[in-house]
Amino acid sequence: MSDKVASVNLATAPAVLRLENAGNGAMQNGIRPAEVAAPAKPAPNILKMVHDALRGRYLAVVSAGLIVGAVAAAGGWKMTKPIYTSEGLVRIAYSLPPIQKSTDQNAPLPMFDMFMQSQKTLIMSRRVMNQAIVDGVWKGYNRAVPANPDSYFAEHLKVDAQRGSELIKISVQDTDPATAAAAATAVVNSYQTLYNEQEKATNRQRLNSLQDDQSVTQSQMKDLTKTIDDMASEYGSSDLSFFYDSLRMRVEKLNAAIDDIKIAIANAPRHAPEAAATQAAQEAPVDPRIIGMTDSVMHAYLEAEERAQDKVSSLDHLPSTNPNVIEANKNLKIAHQKVTDYAEAYRLYHQITSRGLNDPLHPGVTLVSVDELKKNLATLEEVQTNARKAMIDVGQKNREIRKKTDDLLELQKKYDDITERMKSLMMEGSLGGRLSVINTGEAPLSPTLDRRPKMAAAAGLAGFLLPAALAFGLSFIRRRYRYVDDTAKDASLLNVPLLGMLPEVGRKFDPEVLHATAHGIHQMRVLLCAKAPRNAKRSYLITSATEGEGKTNLTVALGMSFAAARQRTLVIDCDFVGRRLTRGFKAENVEGVFEAMQEGSLGNRVRQEGPRLFVLPTGKVDSTFACGITTDNIRDLLSQTRGQYDTVIIDTGPILGSLEAAIVAQEVDGVILAISRGQHPTLVQHALRRLESVKAVLAGAVFNRAKLQDFHSSAYTSSYTSQPFSESISIERAGEPSVFSDFGPLVRAVSLGTPVAA
C-alpha cells in the first residue's frame, strides 16, 4: 500500500463545509436541520453529471466501449456500401448545318430550353423506364433487372439538363458499379430509341403531307394543261396572238373594202356594163392553195388544216368511237371550214374590188353594177361582222389561255418546291437527326461516394459511447450512493452535516488502511466534541436507513474513540431485533436494557469492556419488547447515564424498520445517520423524513465503506501521513484474544489503531 493513504481530516470540500456549518449553527442554536433553509440549487453541470455517473467505472466503460466500438465500426464498414455513379451523355443540337438550304428540320429550335426540359421529363417517364427494363444490356452486364424498377429509378436515376446547354446528363447511382452502368445504358438506349421513333414518325408525317400536296398539285397541273390544250386545239397553238393580229388586220381590211364599196356605189354610173362585172368574177381565184400562195392568213389556215389532217391520219389504228379520234376529226372539220370561209370571202372581195384581202396595193376596184355593189356591200358587212366576232373570241381565248398558263407556271413552281423539299427531307433523314449519344453508361472504376470511413467512425464512436450511455442511464434508473460526493450533492442531505467518510476495510490485515480508518473515527469524535459545549455530557444515536450499513461497528468504534479520549463512554444496544452489539460482546444471556427499564435503574447491569468503555446489552428479551418502549423509559434511562458517563452512544435498528430507533431519536442530543456505499438515495430521504417527523436533531452523517480511490481523492483525506503501527501492537495485542474480535474490520482497525489507555 502506498504511503499516501491517510485518515479523515476535518478539512472538507467547500460544499461539505457549507453543510457542516449549517448543521453546526442549527445544533448550537437549538434548531433542527430540517428548519434551516436550503441554499439555492445550482444549475446542473452535464460534464460533472457524466463524470459522477462514470467515476469508478471508467476502465470497464472504456474497455467495453473499445470492444463494442470496434464491433460497431466493423459492422458499419461492412454494412455501408460505396456508391458508384455511371453517367450517360446525350446531345440535342439546337440547329443543324443546312445541306442545300435552310428548312424547319435544320433551323434553330424555337423555345429550346423548354424543349430540353420536356426531354428531361420524357427520360424520367414510365414509358422510357418500361423500355429500359427490357433492354438487352442487363444480360450483357450479367445483372438482373431491379425487383421494383419504378422505385429503383425514382431513387437512383438523376437527369440534368442545364439551361442554355445542348447536353443532357443521365446518371445512375448504385452500390454495384455494373448495375449502375447497366441501368444508365438502358435508359440512354431506350431514350434514343424513343426519340428516333418519334423523329421518324414526324418525318413520315411530313413526307406524307408533302406527297399529298404533290399529288394534288400534279392533278391541278394536269387539269389545267388539259384545259389549255382544249382551248388551243382549235388554233393548233396556245399562243393566239398571231391569230388575233390576223383577224384584227382582216377586220380593218374589211372596213376599208366596205368604205371603198360605199364610195364606188356613190360614184358608180346608173348603167354599168355587165360584161366588166362578169369578167371580174371570172378572173377571181377559187383554189385556196392558190390564195395561200399570196395570202398569209390563208397560208396559216392551210397549215392548221394540214396538222389536223396529220393528227387524224396518226389515229387511223383506233376505232372511230375513240375520244381522241372524235376530237381529231372535229378539229379537222373546224380547220377545213375556216379555209373554205376564208376562200369564199377572198373570192367575193376580189370579185368586187379586184384586190386580195391581204394585198392593199392591188389595182383599183373593178366596175360592177350598182345593184351588184350593194349586194356585195351587204355580203361584206356580214363578213366583217363575223370577222369582228371571231377577233373578239380569239382575244378572249388568248387572255384566258395566258391566265391559265400563268397559273400553270405557279403550280409547276409549287410542284418543283415540293419535290425539292421531299428530296431534302429524305437526304437529311438519312444523315441522322438532332440527337446524338456522346457517351453511354460505363462501369465506374472507383466510387463517387464512399461513406464507409465515416459510417465506420460514426458507428465506432456510437459503439464506444454506448456503454458510457448505458452506465449514465443506469446511474439515474438505479441510483446509488457510490462516492461521498454523491451525498454532498443530494438535496435531501444539503442541511445534514457530513462528519466524514470511512474506507472499506477488508479482512486482510493492512496496517496503513487500519491506521487511517482508526484515525478517521477519532477525527469524527473530535468533530462531535467540537460541536458540543465544553464539558457537556452528550448522548448520540447511531442509526441507518436499512440493515447492513455498519451502524453497530460504527457505534462500537466511536465508543472506543471516546473512551480513548479519557471519557467515560457507555455503549447501549437498543436493537432488540438484531442485537448485533450484544452478540459481539457475548452478552446474550446477561441482563441489560430490558431489565433496567423494568426496574427503572441501571443497577449492576453495565459491563466494562475496556478502559473507560462500558456496555449495556439488550438483556434477556426478545424482539417483541420493542413494542413496549416509550419515551419515558428512554428518558429515565438516559437521565441515569448522565450522572455516571460523559458520552452515551446508542445503537438501534434502522430508523425505517424499528420502533426503538424512532423513540430513542427523540431523546438523544444528536442522531448520527450511517450511509453505506451502494445505498439508494430514496431510502435515505425516507429516513431523513422519519427523523424529521419525530423532531430528532441530526448530529451528522457518516459515509461508510468508501472505495479506497474515493477515499484518497476526496476532500476528507488529511495531510497526515499514516505511520506504521507500533511494534507492540498486533492483531490480537501480544497474542491475547480481543473482546472486539467478533466485530467487523472497522472495530478491529480502531482497536488496533488506538493505544491502550494508561
Domain contains 575? yes
586 and 461 within one domain: no
> What string of DSSP letters covers 426-457?
HHHHHH--SEEEEE-----SS-SB--HHHHHH
> What string of DSSP letters covers 507-526?
SS--HHHHHHHHHHHHHHHH
Residue carrying C-alpha cell 452515551: 648
Which residues, 6+ apart, have CB-to-CB distance to 606 below 8 Å?
570, 614, 615, 616
Q: Which domain holds residue 70?
A: 59-80+451-475
Cα distance between residue 721 and residue 179, in whole Å: 75
User: How many domains does the chain divide into?
Assistant: 3
Domain contains 194? no
* CA 341 centroid distance within chain: 102
- Residues forming a β-bridge with 439: 89
Domain contains 7? no
710 and 601 within one domain: yes
Least trusted range by pLDDT, from 141-150, 409-418, 421-430, 520-529? 421-430
CA nearest to 463, candidates 72, 61, 741: 72
663 and 591 within one domain: yes
Residue carrying C-alpha cell 451525498: 487
Cell digits of residue 418: 415540293
Cα distance between residue 338 and residue 305, in whole Å: 9
Per-residue pLDDT tens over the stretch 292-303: 777 788 888 888
Mean pLDDT of 586-592: 87
Residue carrying C-alpha cell 496496517: 511
Least trusted range by pLDDT, from 408-417, 510-519, 548-557? 510-519
404 and 507 within one domain: no
512 and 364 within one domain: no
Q: Which long-range contacts (CB under 8 A, 24 or more apart) does 134-141 make?
A: 135/185, 135/186, 135/189, 135/190, 137/182, 137/185, 137/186, 137/189, 138/182, 138/186, 140/182, 141/178, 141/179, 141/181, 141/182, 141/443
Three-state helix/strand/coil letters over 563-615: HHCCCCEEEEECCCCCCHHHHHCCCCCCCCHHHHHHHCCCCCCCEEEECCEEE
pLDDT, residue 734, reads 36
Sign, CA dihedral 539-543-548-554, equals negative
Domain contains 587? yes
pLDDT, residue 4, reads 35
Instruction: Examine the fold and report which residue of 417, 443, 475 is the final residue of a domain before the chain moves on.
Output: 475
Domain contains 120? no
Whether 147 has a pLDDT exceeding 80, the answer reads yes
Domain contains 626? yes
417 and 542 within one domain: no
How many other C-beta atoms are found inside a 10 Å radius of the C-beta of residue 361?
6
Cα distance between residue 223 and residue 250, in whole Å: 34
Q: Which residue has the higher pLDDT, 395 or 752?
A: 395
Per-residue pLDDT tens over the stretch 530-581: 887 877 888 999 999 888 888 888 899 899 889 888 889 999 998 888 888 8
Cell digits of residue 13: 470540500
CA nearest to 430, candidates 98, 200, 194, 201: 200
Supply the Cα-derived Rg of the chain in whole angstroms.
70
Domain contains 493? yes
629 and 577 within one domain: yes
Domain contains 161? no
Band of pLDDT at residue 721, cut at 50, 70 and 90: very low
Judged by DSSP in three states, 198 sits in: helix
How many other C-beta atoms are found inside a 10 Å radius of the C-beta of residue 319?
7
740 and 690 within one domain: yes
For 266, 272, 516, 585, the CA distances from 371, given in Å and listed in that order, are 12, 10, 185, 198
72 and 31 within one domain: no
Mean pLDDT of 687-695: 89
- The DSSP element (H or E) to which 352 belongs, if any, is helix 323-353
378, with CB counted inside 10 A (0-12, 13-18, 19+), is exposed
For 272, 591, 638, the CA distances from 607, given in Å and listed in that order, are 211, 10, 16
pLDDT, residue 648, reads 92
Per-residue pLDDT tens over the stretch 200-222: 888 888 888 888 998 999 999 89
Per-residue pLDDT tens over the stretch 458-477: 988 998 888 888 877 776 66
Query: At 737, which CATH number?
Result: 3.40.50.300
606 and 497 within one domain: yes
505 and 378 within one domain: no
**Would the pTM of this model clear 0.75, i.e. be above it?**
no
256 and 405 within one domain: yes
Cα distance between residue 496 and residue 700, in whole Å: 6
CB 610 within 8 A of CB 639: no
CB 687 within 8 A of CB 578: no
Whether 724 has a pLDDT exceeding 50, the answer reads no
pLDDT, residue 507, reads 63
Strands 670-676 and 607-610 come out as: unpaired
Per-residue pLDDT tens over the stretch 12-70: 333 333 334 434 444 443 434 444 444 555 566 777 777 767 777 778 888 888 998 89
CB 234 within 8 A of CB 334: yes
Cell digits of residue 353: 374590188
The chain-wide mean pLDDT, for the chain, equals: 78
Band of pLDDT at residue 282, cut at 50, 70 and 90: very low
Per-residue pLDDT tens over the stretch 364-386: 334 456 777 778 778 888 888 88
Whether 286 has a pLDDT exceeding 50, the answer reads yes
